[in-house]
Structure 1
Amino acid sequence: MKGQISSESEVISVPAGMVWDVYGGLKLGKLVDQLLPHVIGRVDVVEGDGGVGTVVKVTHPPGTPGIGYMMERFTKIDDQNHIKETELVEGGFKELGFHLYRIRLEIIDKDTNSTVIRSTIEYEVEDEFAGNASLVTTKPLETIAQVIDKYLSEKKINA
């Protein structure tokens, strides 16, 4: 079974380049560690420098339903079009019968001072585990976008 879900989050008063500066490399993981440790968990770099091929481990906080961790590999970073893709390589949904779990983050100029973050999850799951597809959600990505919006808006005001 294959599927895809998407959501869009607007970042008010922050240009796309500023948002991409966070999402395009390792800054996002560092800010998740700093701003969302009890919601998303901890992000550790396993290998790489933030470019394609980088592997990060996301360890969810205790009490979070589901698998305790997941490891993702950065498979695409397009600085010109502000697109980043990661694929799950271990843990998380892999433990629930998923062959593919890909996250695509697109940072889109809405106008000169606001941005849209489009989060898309593509997945393939074994037919016998098709019921697990209902667990796929963009909610954590939306939460991250909201926190990054607030962080960047405050950073811009204080600059």
Structure 2
Amino acid sequence: MFGTLSEEAEVKVPASKAWALYGTLEIGKLVVGKVLEAVDVVEGDGGLGTILKLTFKPGSGFPYYKEKFTKVDNENMVKETEVVEGGFLDIGFTLYRIRFEIKDNPNDDTGSSCLQKLTIEYDVKEEFAANASLVTIEPLLGIMSVANEHLLKSN
């Protein structure tokens, strides 16, 4: 069973500034202690193939999962990660992918704001289909909120 969730929001900073945060390891450093307990680099430097171990705060549902950067497109400002260990894979999911996209705001001719789009794509084995209800975009909205607050303060 395949599914998707997505959310888009405007932030009052240029797309290049938002991408400098979302397109790098800086986003992980920013949310430690706020949304996540820890973010550890297992392998890589933030580019394609980087693997992170995300440790969640107690009561968050999963103790941890590891994700791999499967796409880092600096030109189009798109980053995709897939869970490669733990988390959703332990409860019957065969795919759990997160996509961050930063786009110029088409309604802003000044270039002083951008759109951030977050998408979750998942696939779960039929016998575990009930677990699809556990997928929520709320943790990503928490990350986006912390990131936007940081971007606005540093603008």
Q: TM-score, normalised by structure 1?
A: 0.91
Percent identity between the aligned chains?
54
For the structure 1 residues 144 and 38, does the alpha-carbon distance in structure 2 shift closer, same or farther, using more than 3 Å as the test?
A: closer
How many residues are matched? 151
- Deviation of the 1:78 alpha carbon: 0.5
Shift of 1:127: 0.4
The corresponding residue for 1:93 is: 88
Structure 2 letter corresponding to 1:41: E
Matches within 5 A, 1:4-153: 4-11=4-11, 13-33=12-32, 37-64=33-60, 66-110=61-105, 111=108, 112-153=111-152
Q: CA deviation at 1:40?
A: 2.6
Q: Which runs of 5+ in 2 are unaligned?
A: none
Q: Which amino acid aligns with 1:87?
A: E
One-letter identity of the residue aligned with 1:59: T
SS at 1:20's partner residue?
Answer: helix
1: distance between equivalents of 2:9 and 2:139? Answer: 12
| Aligned AA (1:40) | L
- Asked whether the 8 Å contact 2:68–2:84 carries over to 1, the reply is yes
Unaligned runs of 5+ in 1: none
